[in-house]
Structure 1
Amino acid sequence: MNKNIQYHPTAADSTGSTKRLVILGAGESGIGAALLGKQQGYEVFVSDGGVIKDNYKQEMAVNHIPFEEGQHSWDVILGADEIVKSPGIPEKSELMKKVREKQVPVISEIELAYRFSKDAKIIAITGSNGKSTTTALTYHIFKTAGYNAAMAGNIGISYARQVATAPVEYYIIEISSFQLDDITTFRPHVAILLNITPDHLDRYDYKMENYVASKFRIAMNQTKDDYFIYCLDDPEIRNYMNEKTIYSTTIPFTIMEPLKKEGGSIANDQVNIKLNDDPVIVSIYDLALKGKHNLYNSMAAGIAGKTMDIRKEKIRESLTSFKSLEHRMEYVATVRGIDFINDSKATNVNSLWFALESMEQPVVLIMGGVDKGNDYSAIKDLVQEKVKGIVCMGVDNKPIQDALSSATPAMVNTSSMKDAVQEAFKLAAKGDVVLLSPACASFDLFKNYEDRGKQFKEAVREL
């Protein structure tokens, strides 16, 4: 707690009045916004109702940014000219109700960062699944081509921190619906919408249409000079686009049908990316990322590269040389003929569906965590086909048991990662895969999905 820190607004805008910027939440996004705000002459104050990590506190102290933790000083917060809200703070919270009542303008960290990076080209990627992989792959394409690019947002460091500390010509940004909810002018030159499946519905009044509309905000400020790259096979995306106007140049990708116009499609076991009369053609067997879902991710990233005039040879080279991300279908080890795969980043049912769909060996599945209102029946057929046992890991495993116990021969409950890995090892035989793909948030037993993935890897190494 930092009760001794006083808030003394001193910065002024062009009219001479004080610009007081309050940052709610002191995670990576909030600290990035604080650093950028300070650099741009705002008087910044950071408020977090929880405990702030020591490294972030040190960073704020070094940069003379006042902050508080474990409390919210209402007079300071409600006296702000503008608030940057952490994407993790729901609108239903007491904090946001008071802010909205007082009508203090609220923006997201990506909106703040955009104000000071408009001269750059911004490639923004969203979707319910595959965002991190597609963002990393797109960045790999740009770096392989020698472009002055950075990867930021929900992957790595925050967009605002990147703008403040190491500005570049091309920003490849992973963006969540929560971040898009509080934009006003943010306009990516290239927007990618990978898919929309039920997720975080508790934040959207349990209405799918609200969540869909949130995802489409990525294109709301785009013009005909911009590009909107989207999955033609996704029914939610198709339905929305049939009813609403997208003003940017739309480029689809699909694995279901050949495309007569520009976009990405599959024919004769080859990925075809057609744009600017110079197609990129890659055998699906040469792609670095395997599985049907990664065909979509590879096409989306390849199209983004083509919109920025990256040579087809560089795109092809990148799509075949990319190394997958930690905690996303990450091979860990083989123990007594059993493969262990870490897919801790799978925090919803659709991610788990994709993981199971790509499996060719019998699976012992470790899943569970904080249930976000998941419909596990969506994976029942795949579980029946591929899963020989489920190890549940979480405080409340009843929804998983109710939905899937009849679809698999064995189901075990555990309350720690170590126990989960040991139980899975007992259920597995030589030639099987033990797959950690939780389909849930991690906050009941772990700090976050990274902590969950690391604990899984440690437990596997101890076998």
Structure 2
Amino acid sequence: MARQVNGKRVLVVGLARSGVGAANLLVRLGAHVTANDAKSAESLAPSLNRLDSAVRVALGSHPPELFFSSDLIVLSPGVPHDTPLLESAAGRGIPVIGELELAYSLVAEAAGHGRRVPGFLAITGTNGKSTTTTLLYEMVRQANYRAELCGNIGTAVSETLLAGDFFAPDALLQRAVDFFVVEVSSFQLDTIVSFRPSGAAILNITPDHLDRYHGMDAYAASKSRIFENQSRGDVLVLNADDPYTPQMDARRKALSVSPDVYYFSTKKKVRGAYCLDGRVVFSFNGVEHDVDPAEFRIRGAHNRENAMAAALLALTAGCGMDAVTAALRTFGGLEHRLELVRELDSVQYINDSKGTNVGAVMKSLESFSVPVVLIAGGRDKDSDFRLLRDPVREKVKALVLIGEAAAKIGDAVGDLTQVYFESDLKAAVNRGHACADAGDVVLLSPACASFDMFLDYEDRGRQFKALVQGL
């Protein structure tokens, strides 16, 4: 790929973090790069400031001639791959790939030249990706492997390649790294061609992004692409308790891919990791190790699943059990994921702004045995909020709604508890404070995207924390 793009006209579509990383990487490889985005220069100012000065920029629209005159098109994950313009370009024989595929192909090219290159440990799923990916990264580091944490978690793989000075004029990956530990979204998987992780995990499949996919089967099929290029010697980890896992197994067999498959389960004994008599058992290479989950620093049933998935990938990648348990004892979780912000008057305020879909909120509510004042709402992703009826009935003493989806959520579950509609997050925090009694939890877990009122879920979470600290 490095030699293939040198001197070629490459169009990068979408100027979010991945697009900027891809554009800068391509310039480094000698390509003639144009970056295109339908947004204005003003709204893209932070991204434009990070672009290499050699990148030509075309903003405000998607000119067809720009697409049709390119030798290669690279998409940011937020750009749908099936638009008429992109399909027309592909029909003209122009390759259309994503940033993940671009970066992976560069690493794979180095292997083709006989170089020792890092393995890719990749994690996808609807919920828990960032937590599991970071926990796996900590396990790998505890085992004294050299690793890079990247992907959908915040630093694009292409950015990691550039920042680590992995390139020289005629050599790739001069710096020794054992693993890229990568969080992978369904959007990234939509545009892979050759991406083949040596270890992969699908954590769960619950409704999300149905504003982009035509139903759950299409969404699940996108997630399953993480293993479509795997073969003997690779590892695949699946959730035995997830209703879509049989579909994953059937697709794997239909594709005739043959990775070594392990499972995790909180309900039954499986080949891999499972819960038994209050302990977590890891069964690997004919040896069983059991761990008391009370030793895990991260809490909640969903994090027990995340821990099992991360541990299986770590063990199969060569990490010892000591390294795995050391990481489990020290890793405390991530910002915006069931993050304790403050305890005030015996009320805990929890920031779960990363809970951007219904399944995530369901998992979060499962973590509490005390009454919850739930703050939710934002931009709908064509979600079925009726799936929240049981957990709201069982856990939520008051529901405070904001954003574009407030009315839809209220229609779905408003008959089950006291509901308040507020105009902004400040009013919602004040309402939550007024509703909560000693021993309760005020939980921000929106079940929606953030873009109607905030820059992103991180902005939403940090504003929530500031408001809570101001109470």
TM superposition score category, shorter chain reference: over 0.9
Partners of 2:367 and 2:281 in 1: CA distance:
21
State the secondary structure of the residue aligned to 1:164: helix
1:147 to 145, 152, 175: 145
Contact persistence 1:280–1:316 (CA under 8 A): no
For the aligned residue pairs, the C-alpha RMSD in angstroms reads 1.9
Give deviations 1:157-206, integer Å, cap 9, x for gaps.
1011112221532101001111100100010000110011111122222x
- Counterpart in the other structure of 2:105: 115
2:31 to 42, 47, 62: 42
1:220-299 paired onto structure 2 within 5 Å: 220-242=228-250, 244-245=252-253, 246-259=257-270, 262-299=271-308
State the secondary structure of the residue aligned to 2:340: strand
Contact persistence 2:6–2:31 (CA under 8 A): no
1:193 to 193, 202, 207: 202
Partners of 2:348 and 2:68 in 1: CA distance:
54
Q: Aligned residue pairs: how many?
A: 447
Partners of 2:204 and 2:2 in 1: CA distance:
43
Deviation (angstroms), 1:268: 2.0
Contact persistence 2:137–2:181 (CA under 8 A): yes
Q: Is 2:50 the partner of 1:59?
A: yes
Partners of 1:301 and 1:73 in 2: CA distance:
44
- Matching residue's letter, 1:149: A
Q: 1:57 to 1:243 in 2, by over 3 A?
A: closer
Partners of 2:134 and 2:363 in 1: CA distance:
18
Contact persistence 2:372–2:396 (CA under 8 A): yes
Moved more, 372-381 or 354-363: 372-381
- Matching residue's letter, 1:221: N
Partners of 2:88 and 2:427 in 1: CA distance:
44
Alignment gaps of 5+ in structure 1:
1-10
Deviation (angstroms), 1:395: 2.3
- Matching residue's letter, 1:175: V
- Counterpart in the other structure of 1:6: none
- Counterpart in the other structure of 2:17: 28
Q: 1:92 to 1:404 in 2, by over 3 A?
A: same
Partners of 1:12 and 1:267 in 2: CA distance:
50
Deviation (angstroms), 1:122: 0.2
Alignment gaps of 5+ in structure 2:
109-116, 167-176
Deviation (angstroms), 1:225: 1.2
| TM-score (norm: length of structure 1) | 0.92
2:160 to 159, 162, 165: 162
Deviation (angstroms), 1:18: 4.2
Partners of 2:462 and 2:332 in 1: CA distance:
18
Contact persistence 2:349–2:443 (CA under 8 A): yes
- Counterpart in the other structure of 1:3: none
- Counterpart in the other structure of 2:89: 99
State the secondary structure of the residue aligned to 2:386: helix
Contact persistence 1:150–1:171 (CA under 8 A): yes
Identity in percent: 38
- Counterpart in the other structure of 1:7: none
Partners of 1:184 and 1:419 in 2: CA distance:
47
State the secondary structure of the residue aligned to 2:389: helix
Partners of 2:135 and 2:6 in 1: CA distance:
44
Q: Is 2:392 the partner of 1:383?
A: yes
Q: Is 2:161 the partner of 1:172?
A: no
Q: 1:49 to 1:295 in 2, by over 3 A?
A: same
- Counterpart in the other structure of 1:5: none
State the secondary structure of the residue aligned to 1:279: strand
- Matching residue's letter, 1:131: K
- Counterpart in the other structure of 1:129: 127
Contact persistence 1:117–1:163 (CA under 8 A): no
Contact persistence 1:187–1:219 (CA under 8 A): yes
- Counterpart in the other structure of 1:85: 75
Give deviations 1:322-365, integer Å, cap 9, x for gaps.
02100010110112221100000011100000000001211000
Q: 1:383 to 1:418 in 2, by over 3 A?
A: same
- Matching residue's letter, 2:258: Y
Contact persistence 1:395–1:415 (CA under 8 A): no
- Matching residue's letter, 1:169: D
Q: 1:428 to 1:65 in 2, by over 3 A?
A: same
Partners of 2:221 and 2:355 in 1: CA distance:
23
State the secondary structure of the residue aligned to 2:51: helix
